[in-house]
Structure 1
Amino acid sequence: MTQLQKFFSQVDQNEQHYISRLAEAVAIPSISGDPSHRQDVVRMGEYLQQELKRLGASVETRHPGTQDWNGTGRILTLPPVILATIGNDPAKKTVLVYGHYDVQPALKEDGWTTDPFTLVVDDAQDRLIGRGSTDDKGPILGWINVVEAHKQLNLDLPVNLKFCLEGMEESGSEGLEKIIYDEAQNYFKDVSAVCISDNYWLGTDKPCLTYGLRGCVYYHLTLSGPAADLHSGVFGGTVHEPLIDLVHLLSKLVDSNGKILIPGIYDKVLPITEKERATYQDLSFSLQDLHNSVGNVINLHSDVESTLQHRWRYPSLSLHGIEGAFYNPGDKTVLPAKVTGKFSIRTVPDMNNEEITRLVKEYVASEFKKLGSKNTCTVELTHGGDHWLASPDHWNYVAASNAVEDVFGVKPDLTREGCSIPITLTFQEALQKNVLLLPMGRSDDGAHSINEKLNKSNFIKGTKLLGAYLYQVANARI
């Protein structure tokens, strides 16, 4: 029996133990976006440090500092970034694993059918239900499972393993980017490749490898006029209303078919190549998957290829809300004095955030001028995360593809994603190493939503996959 086969067998034997450990992790409500749970985030980090030390890891921490909570003057200490090392053999490659131990908020009254922080084992439907099960505690524990299984077998890992685990991913990863750059030539200097398990399969029945993410630039478009809210019966029809101006401007940003109307916005989008086009063939995805996810038949595009291209490799503009306008139930005849429309643009290679912002501001100013309004109009960039693209032909991806075949017996889909994980680009640029997104969970896991789950089979086979990936990396030809 090979070492890999021994490892697979050990994982199967440990199934209930792994589930019990996931239950312990889920029970810690490490919600980074709620100040009242900051100590729970710290407690979750301490739990992981204890588990890693128990397995013989050398554990260090880096402290990102403090944050001013939402600009309120309330100063909170940021949870530590955990750096752990297992193995330092110079003859072996070194894989850096990233994950996050914080989670999104969750309340039973949100619509959960079970307590969000009590792991429910649903054997009938192969589900492990609980907040953080798939995002991202399950995948982090998958790596710990790999280490533990090798220790139980008295086997050395085929590579050196380094961990970088943070507790603020769900709240903007404050302070992490600086730590990564500061440690690029220190803690991270011997890293051969990076692996992140913080995304999901394209569908529900076939693994994938993800090599690209869209970026995101977020804007606040503010219209203001009167010094205070006004009564529409007294002032309606006599003044320029900020909300009317705002609605008009928002309507000029994107049409009902999803086309962005800002001139020049598509100029830097990389054209699709025949090699890239080939990756859209035979993907484990159908329009029915989209319909199931959305809960309705409202797709803009009539075929899978066009749908996925507009989700992955073309920009999109979305409207998110209006701040300052009346939105409570009932009627209120108010003219708001100041309103802010919020919208974002998902960016792709080779779009440039500074250029996009220039185009947005110039276009909005031009459209506002056409209104002849006496209100004031401003556009503010509030967040800017860049897009990311890696080469699926890199040896790191080849190793992962071979590992998928070892565990699942199929070649993985090669995918990009429409969302953003800014730290992916940070690792790539700071370390100058290939970054791989190797998901454990499925597309229907409901991360950030109610009844978040990780399929039990994905947790167990995912643990096997992470281990098989390390063996394939060890044998990869650079």
Structure 2
Amino acid sequence: MSFLPSVFNYLDSHEEEFVSRLGEAVAIPSVSQEKAFRPQTVAIVEHFKALMEQQLSSSFSCRLHDLGTEDFPDGSKVGLPPVLLGELKAGESSEPKKTVCIYGHLDVQPALLSDGWSTEPFKLTEVDGKLFGRGSTDDKGPVLAWINCLQAFAKTETPLPVNLKFIFEAMEEAGSTGLHELVGSLKDTFLKDVDYFVISDSYWLSTTKPCLTYGLRGNAYFYVEVECAKKDLHSGVYGGAVHEAMVDLVALLATLTDATGQHILVPGLMDTVRPFTTEERHTLESLDFDEAAFCKEVGTSRLRFADKVNLLAHRWRYPALSIHGIQGAFHGSGAKTVIPQKVVAKFSIRLVPDQEPEEVTGKVVKYLEEQFSRLNSPNRLRVHRQKGSRPWVVDPATDGNFQAAKNAIKDVYGVEPDLIREGGSIPVTLTFQEVTGKSVLLLPIGAADDGAHSQNEKIDRKNYLNGGKLFAAYLHYISKL
């Protein structure tokens, strides 16, 4: 790379150090959803703070922002992990420098070897150029790729082309508790001079071709509780005599979609979904996406759609309802003849423009209460939304942030990136945009088969290491806007 030779050479010559660094981060089980792992979730933020203070230039400064406590269902209060707020000044120049804010998260989803992992989830293991471990791609690897990049600038004494700010949290996998309020409070102080935001917490559409992400679905996550007794009951004594909670719950879940699971039956939920345009269809047709490889990666013999356009459209731009589990039901080995006292189903609806979580919640609650009344059951029902986030979409054709990233990808990978939407949710994306009015870019380095949230999560070694180069080139092009 002609404009950053020292930085790129440094990144090439320190590969083993960077891989070892990822292993240290993966080894900290920062599972934000579980109270037992809260000390490790706090520890991961402190670990990254120490790493950045050690490896970045003397102009780096940071602080930990306390978010208070979190209430758990057992009535206890536990401290939330702090948010790392950092700043790194650009090299001296007579011209004013732009400011880029980098967001990432350091917490992870739960993982156990017994879940079906081939390797220990919290021990980074390299197999055929793939780095396996929980958090390797979501999101510790991408955050470390940023640190590797900035370390290269510092150690080679290459002037940083822009000012940088950092917001690294450790509650993203549990809904980013407290973060959105914090961002709002920083509007006129810490975030006042930010020109662009960049997030590296999404994935390529393929395993070989980079992309940029300009849209995300939102999410509404629901709990449905049905209680039938004051204690668990023996089916041999009470079976046939009581209205069982599980029977009611299963009946309710069956009313959410048609038999195929494709069509959501909640009245009015689809009313605000935007029509599928010809332009959108042509865009999807042009993308580098292998339906057969996707089917194989899932591990199924057949998907709902056989063609690329419909498959991607239903992953990105249509709502989807998924049932995630039932709490309180017997799920261990052996045969336990119990009628559960209370069961709780968990399901979510991925939202698209212009669906709002509050409006969707009202429709879902009303519908399930109506369906429950038709059962004529004496049991007790409670439906509530646990968390919600709004969808996000922008026009990349008019955004210089995206143009800088395109140029960086062309320099590092030699290809024009695909422009895609994602089916997942990163709620803080919309928060940054609405609070500051500034451009937000999703710049992924992970591949389509990385398996975030799943067993055997990984990041390709080359993607992790090239990530540092991509970010360096992106900062160069941002400075030229």
2:375 pairs with 1:367:
no
Match of 1:301 in 2: 305
Shift of 1:98: 0.6
The 5 A counterparts of 1:23-42 are: 23-42=23-42
With over 3 angstroms needed to count, the CA separation of the structure-2 counterparts of 1:473 and 1:66, relative to structure 1, is: same
Query: Per-residue displacement from partner, 1:40-68 (whole Å, max 9, x unpaired)?
Result: 33333223222322322111221111223
Out of 124, 132, 138, the residue aligned to residue 129 of structure 1 is 132
* DSSP-derived class of the 2:445 partner: coil
Equivalent position SS for 1:302: coil
Provide structure 1 residue ranges, at least 5 long, that are not aligned to the other structure: none
Deviation at 1:241, TM superposition (A): 3.6
- Aligned partner of 1:248 in structure 2 is 251
How far apart are residue 139 of structure 1 and its match?
1.0
2:83 is aligned to 81
State the alpha-carbon separation in 1 of the partners of residues 112 and 241 from structure 2: 46
Shift of 1:266: 0.7
Mapped partners of 1:469, 1:176: distance in 2: 26
Q: Does 1:204 align with 2:204?
A: no
Paired with 1:451 and 1:431, the residues of 2 have a C-alpha distance of 37
Residue of structure 1 in register with 2:165 after alignment: 162
Shift of 1:151: 2.0
Query: SS in structure 2 opposite 1:440?
Result: coil
Report the CA distance between 1:162 and its aligned residue: 0.9
- Residue 402 of structure 2 is aligned to residue 397 of structure 1: yes
TM-score by length of 2: 0.91
Matched, 1:463 2:481: no
Q: 1:227 to 1:190 in 2, by over 3 A?
A: same
Q: Let me know the Cα RMSD of the aligned residues.
A: 2.3
Match of 1:217 in 2: 220
Which residue in the other structure is 1:183 paired with?
186
Question: Greater CA deviation, 135-144 or 318-327?
Answer: 318-327
Q: 1:233: Cα distance to partner?
A: 5.2
Letter in 2 for 1:24: E
Partners in 1 of 2:198 and 2:306 — Cα distance? 34
Query: 3-state SS of the aligned residue for 2:385?
Result: strand
Name the residue aligned to 1:13.
Answer: 13
**Which AA in structure 2 matches 1:270?**
R
Aligned CA distance change for structure 1 residues 13 and 344 (closer, same or farther; 3 Å):
same
Q: 1:49 maps to which residue? A: 49
**1:340 aligned counterpart, secondary structure:** strand
Query: Structure 2 vs 1, CA of residues 300 and 186 (structure 1 numbering), >3 Å: closer, same or farther?
Result: same
Match of 2:428 among 417, 423, 432: 423
Shift of 1:18: 1.9
Q: Deviation of residue 109 (structure 1)?
A: 4.1
Do the aligned partners of residues 119 and 325 (structure 1) sit closer, same or farther apart at CA in structure 2, a change above 3 Å counting? closer
Name the counterpart of 1:381: 385
Q: Deviations over 1:326-383 (max 9, x none)?
A: 4444445544443333221111000122221222122223323333334343322222
Partner of 1:279: 283
1:15 and 1:240, CA in 2 relative to 1: closer, same or farther beyond 3 A?
Answer: closer
Unaligned runs of 5+ in 2: none
TM-aligned CA deviation for residue 81 of structure 1 = 1.0
Kindly indicate whether the alpha-carbon contact (under 8 Å) linking 1:220 and 1:381 is maintained by their aligned counterparts in 2. yes
Alpha-carbon distance, 1:313 to partner:
0.6
Q: Which stretch has the larger CA shift, 73-82 or 156-165? A: 73-82
Higher mean Cα deviation, 70-79 or 34-43? Answer: 34-43
**Contact 2:322-2:348 at 8 Å conserved across structures:** yes
The answer to whether structure 1 residue 356 and structure 2 residue 374 are counterparts is no
- State the AA in 2 paired with 1:164: I
| Residues 461, 348 of structure 1: alpha-carbon distance in 2 compared, 3 angstrom cutoff | same
Change (3 A) 1:27 1:380: closer
Give the partner amino acid of 2:306.
S
Bigger mean CA offset, 210-219 vs 224-233: 224-233
Contact 2:6/2:158 (8 A) holds in 1: no
Deviation at 1:188, TM superposition (A): 0.9
**SS of residue in 1 equivalent to 2:453:** coil
Q: Which amino acid aligns with 1:182?
A: S
Identity across aligned pairs (percent)? 48
1:257-297: CA deviations, max 9, x gaps?
31001121110011233333332123221221221222112
Question: What does residue 174 of structure 2 align with?
Answer: 171
Q: Deviations over 1:396-432 (max 9, x none)?
A: 1111111111111111111111111112222122222
What are the Cα deviations for residues 299-318 of structure 1, in whole angstroms up to 9, with x where unaligned?
11121110111111100112
| 8 Å contact from structure 2 (residues 112, 121) kept in 1 | yes
- Give the TM-score normalised by structure 1: 0.92
Q: Does 1:451 align with 2:453?
A: no
Number of residue pairs matched?
473
Task: Confirm or deny: 8 A CA contact 2:28 2:122 kept in the other structure.
Answer: yes
- 8 Å contact kept, 1:205–1:284: no
